[in-house]
Chain A
Amino acid sequence: DTAVSQTPKYLVTQMGNDKSIKCEQNLGHDTMYWYKQDSKKFLKIMFSYNNKELIINETVPNRFSPKSPDKAHLNLHINSLELGDSAVYFCASSQGGDLYNSPLHFGNGTRLTVT
């Protein structure tokens, strides 16, 4: 199946722990993103990579570090997890180049709960 897939779907962990979320797309897209959706349902861009290069890095704590080994993968590592990190994290991809008119294809999300 062609898709954006992210794992795990659910992640429950304690404060202070380090965790990673993996994302892969087989759509041949050049650009990948990480979004955070909080309890109020706002989608906030965190990072964007185009062909493995960082192009968007919003005001996100240094505890969050994206890694793109190739253009089909964009993983998110989070250090020293805090209660406020609890949210749903979505990976997405889009066709490269014309970023402004390329629809995003989202993964199914990772629901992170920090206790």
Chain B
Amino acid sequence: GQNIDQPTEMTATEGAIVQINCTYQTSGFNGLFWYQQHAGEAPTFLSYNVLDGLEEKGRFSSFLSRSKGYSYLLLKELQMKDSASYLCAVTDSNYQLIWGAGTKLIIKP
């Protein structure tokens, strides 16, 4: 079966750095997405990786290793507004999007 694993919940301190991991086992691979979802709101697109390596976008970076079936989202200089769920999603060989359950990130002052 197809599976995406993320930690259920993480806690970090305002101003710090946090890394949210995602591992996947899918039928083929055509890209990996990270989305942010605040409570009661819609998911919003953060990043897309299809090649190995690090993609940096402001305070957020996303890393991919296809050989390891592994990605992480790195959030720097954490702000209270970063408290949200972070969803990892992988496109398989049939271009179906497989979603993880998301990681709830709690930021403490």
Q: CB within 8 Å of B: which residues of A?
A: 40-45, 56, 90, 99-101, 103-109
Contacts and interface: CB of A to CB of B under 8 A. Distances in A.
A101 B96 CA distance: 11
Contact of A42 (B30, B95, B101): B101
Interface in B84-109: 85, 87, 89, 91, 95-97, 99, 101-102
A45 B97 CA distance: 8
Contact of A104 (B31, B41, B43, B101): B43
Contacts of B12: none
Interface range on chain B: under 10, 10 to 19, 20 to 34, or 35 or more? 20 to 34
B95 A100 contact: yes
B85 A41 contact: yes
A43 B43 contact: yes
A43 B96 CA distance: 13
Contacts of B50: 101
Given A100-B31, A103-B33, A56 B96 contact: yes
A103 B36 CA distance: 12
Contacts of A103: 33, 45, 48
B2 interface: no
Q: Residue among B33, B42, B50, B85 with the most chain A CB within 10 A?
A: B42
Contacts of A104: 35, 43, 45, 97
A101 B31 contact: yes
A46 to B, nearest CB: 12
Contacts of A45: 96-97
Given A41-B102, A43-B87, A101 B48 contact: yes
A100 B48 CA distance: 10
Contact of A109 (B31, B42, B48, B85): B42
A52 B38 CA distance: 31
30 contacts: A40-B101, A41-B101, A41-B102, A42-B99, A42-B101, A43-B99, A44-B99, A45-B96, A45-B97, A90-B43, A99-B91, A99-B95, A100-B30, A101-B31, A101-B48, A101-B50, A101-B91, A103-B33, A103-B45, A103-B48, A104-B43, A104-B45, A104-B97, A105-B45, A106-B42, A106-B44, A107-B42, A108-B42, A109-B41, A109-B42
